[in-house]
Chain A
Amino acid sequence: MELFLQTLIDGLLIGGLIIVVGIGFSLCFGVMHIVDFAVGEWVMLGAFTGFLLVSYFGQDPMIYLPVLFIIFFVLGWAIYPLIYRAISGKRHNPVLMGLVFTFGLSILAKGGALSIWGYHIQSITTWLSGKSLALGPITIPALRFSGFLFGILITLLLMFFLYKTKLGITIRATAQDREMASLLGTDVRKVGALVYSLYAGVTGMSGILIGALFSIHAAMGVKYCTLAFFVVVLAGMGYIPGVIIAGLILGLLQSFVGVYVGGRYNLVALFMVMYGVLLITPKGILRRGI
């Protein structure tokens, strides 16, 4: 029973981290229809930037969460015109163009990080590292728990923004019908820039949490790219509330398969679920995706 409860907690906490990575990706895809292959590289760049900030200025890495959001928001804003150029105009297949462009960005980011920061594996420590809460025989690692809360909080904030504010409603209108929104006076380019910047900010910010939990290196983004794809498929492409449920399901799946079936079957289980969802309910488990 103890192991079952610990497995449940581990799964929920892993799910929290998956939510953190998947939420921005889902927003980006849902609103702009951009499949950003560089999602993992935003995480990696966030982790390295956090590492740099801590190395230069000291203090606890968690303090830099808002700083990272601002840095990556600005970076996203700066990059967006290039993406807009790649996906607009007389392109035959804008989604594919976006995919190719961001794939290039991802290679550039990986290569750039390797050139700038080298091959070393870096680590950062927060005041929460190594600390845990004990609930009887169950251990809840403090840093993972804060990652979980962070993921839920960001999702709720984004949902509030999208569903309860005028700007959010404009974004949703643009996602539903780009041309109609444009005809009604919405500057779709600016809306796109805002969404991409939000996505870059949130994902870059998550890098510092992931860097503190695991390790930081130029190739660390690859696995988060895969996870983000899993989340979006399971949640329903572009359906933000689904990300919480999808993240938690994926986390629990990894945890229970890892403990009760065997770690080597983890990826098999994840792929089976993803293919199953794509075959049976392509709009995601809640049937609310695109």
Chain B
Amino acid sequence: MKKGFKLILSVLILVFLIPQFGLAQEKRDFFKVGVVTSLSGELAFGGTVTKRGYDLWADTVNALGGIEIEGKKYKVTLVYADDQSTPATAAVAAERLITQENVDFILGPYASGTTLALAPIAEKYKIPHITGSAESPLIWKRKFKYTFGTIPAVSLIAQASIQTLAKDVTPKPKTVAILGIDDAFSKFAAEAFKMSAEKEGFKVLKYDIVPEGSDYTPQVSAIKALKPDIFAMGSHEKAAIEMIKIAKELKFNPQAFVQHYGMTTPDFRKGLGKDAEFVLGTSVWTPNMKHQATLLFKNPKEYANAFKAKFGDEPEYTNAGSTAAGIAFQEALRMIKAKPPLTQENKDALISALEKLNIMTFYGQVKFAVEGDFYHCNAGLQPVAIQYQGGKLVEVGPGKLQVVAPKFPTPSWDKR
């Protein structure tokens, strides 16, 4: 009986004391930033794109001594968790960072699917989360209080290349066929192509969505048979490369190949070589833009140089969006004068500060929407149509955004 009493007492002590130790406020003089992104699995390429953007932000801030709050500088430490390219793992990874690592805030995943799984966890634990990559409009429609994003929804930006083909080329193409991959980002890219094509007066001959990882040959054959003027593809980088390869194999020669993400990545250019020429895409940021900023990087060129010096590659807009996510947190922290580690009050104040944020960065303006279908999305950036010309991405429209005239129509494969 005595033994039993002692055992119960010990268990009770453990039950009451252990959480107290766990919840005890740790002391530190640096910001602990959780990063959930795809470091393995199908999306490892994209995960690394975001990682590079986040790393460059953290390294640059730390090289300057840290984030300055009331005269004192606090460094940032990134704590990574691999979502293995699956939504369920993204949720578990975020939960671990919040409950075990006690991170102050989270920089989010590469893909929209994983972001949609992480956002409810951020909501549950009331922890601020900014994705520097995800573009699906579904995220913003759900109106998560604790989730923000620096890249506008794909439905707001994918139309730039279609508008360019409607207004900046002659003779104006008339028909379009659209193929999208069945994931939270790509099918909305395809849908955005469809909506903007219809708005610009193009006839949509075919609109098809296929599962990721399929052999896309039958769909490209079906589209080829319809002889569209424009072939638009909503996909990530791998499918973007494969669809162009298939089009070449099948000798499919539309007047324009249009993509959104994927074609902006260095692997697209390296993988396809000369076949990447003439492909059109959309971006919200290029190193040639003229934004002038006071925070961290003065302009896109300075950012591009720093990126190239660190990683040896040209940055693209998702790298820049990820770095901008860090800058947004940095400025919001400065606004609320919060010191690490953040309390729950600080975290809630951080959300209010992010909602009020209106800054000009090397990436452009960061101002999150506070109402409507794009709630907490940095929806105001101007998309620009880009095209591979002479192995480089150049801005070709729409309208006044044109730096170089688009090359149109695309020559047939045997005349390149």
Task: Give chain A's interface residues, CB within 8 Å of chain B.
Answer: 2-3, 6-7, 10-11, 13-14, 17, 110-111, 114, 119-123, 125, 129-130, 132, 134, 139, 141-144, 213-215, 217-219, 222-223, 254-256, 258-259, 262-264, 266-267
Q: B191: shortest Cβ distance to chain A, in Å?
A: 13
C-alpha gap A3/B224 in the complex (Å):
9
Is the pair A10, B209 in contact by a Cβ cutoff of 8 Å?
Answer: no
Kindly specify which of B65-73, B236-244, B341-349 makes contact with the partner chain: B236-244
**Which one of B182, B210, B221 has the greatest number of beta carbons of chain A within 10 Å?**
B221
Is the pair A264, B48 in contact by a Cβ cutoff of 8 Å?
Answer: no
Tell me if B89 is interfacial: C-beta within 8 Å of chain A.
Answer: no
C-alpha gap A130/B215 in the complex (Å):
16
Question: Which chain B residue shows the least CB distance to A252?
Answer: B218
Q: Select one of B216, B221, B222, B249 contacting A143, CB under 8 A.
A: B249
Please report whether the interface of chain B is mostly helix, strand, loop or mixed according to DSSP: helix
Is the pair B270, A123 in contact by a Cβ cutoff of 8 Å?
Answer: yes
Type the 1/0 row for B266-285, where 1 means its CB is closer than 8 Å to any CB of A.
01001111010000000000
Size of the B side of the interface (Cβ < 8 Å), in residues, is: 41
C-alpha gap A110/B39 in the complex (Å):
12
Known contacts being A14-B217, A259-B222, is A123 close to B272, with CB within 8 Å? yes
Enumerate B204-224 residues with CB–CB distance to A below 8 Å.
Answer: 208-211, 213-219, 221-222, 224
Is the pair B210, A258 in contact by a Cβ cutoff of 8 Å?
Answer: yes
Is the pair A119, B249 in contact by a Cβ cutoff of 8 Å?
Answer: no
Q: Select one of A7, A125, A217, A222 contacting B44, CB under 8 A.
A: A217
C-alpha gap A257/B81 in the complex (Å):
39
Is the pair A11, B218 in contact by a Cβ cutoff of 8 Å?
Answer: yes
Known contacts being A10-B221, A259-B222, is A121 close to B45, with CB within 8 Å? yes
Tell me if B371 is interfacial: C-beta within 8 Å of chain A.
Answer: no
Chain B residues with CB below 8 A from A141, complex form: 217, 249-250
Q: A23: shortest Cβ distance to chain B, in Å?
A: 18
Is the pair A14, B215 in contact by a Cβ cutoff of 8 Å?
Answer: yes
Q: B54: shortest Cβ distance to chain A, in Å?
A: 15
C-alpha gap A263/B218 in the complex (Å):
8
C-alpha gap A94/B246 in the complex (Å):
42
Q: Select one of B41, B271, B413 contacting A122, CB under 8 A.
A: B271
- 4 A-B pairs with least C-beta separation: A263-B210, A258-B218, A141-B249, A123-B271
C-alpha gap A219/B249 in the complex (Å):
24
Chain B residues with CB below 8 A from A254, complex form: 214-215, 218
C-alpha gap A139/B85 in the complex (Å):
36
Is the pair A111, B40 in contact by a Cβ cutoff of 8 Å?
Answer: yes
Question: Which chain A residue shows the least CB distance to B210?
Answer: A263
Is the pair A139, B214 in contact by a Cβ cutoff of 8 Å?
Answer: no
Is the pair B208, A264 in contact by a Cβ cutoff of 8 Å?
Answer: yes
Question: Which chain A residue shows the least CB distance to B273?
Answer: A125
Is the pair A7, B221 in contact by a Cβ cutoff of 8 Å?
Answer: yes
Is the pair A144, B249 in contact by a Cβ cutoff of 8 Å?
Answer: yes
What are 21 A-to-B residue pairs whose CB atoms are below 8 Å? A3-B222, A6-B221, A13-B217, A119-B47, A121-B238, A130-B249, A130-B275, A130-B413, A143-B249, A213-B245, A215-B271, A218-B40, A219-B41, A222-B42, A222-B213, A258-B210, A258-B218, A258-B222, A263-B211, A263-B216, A264-B210
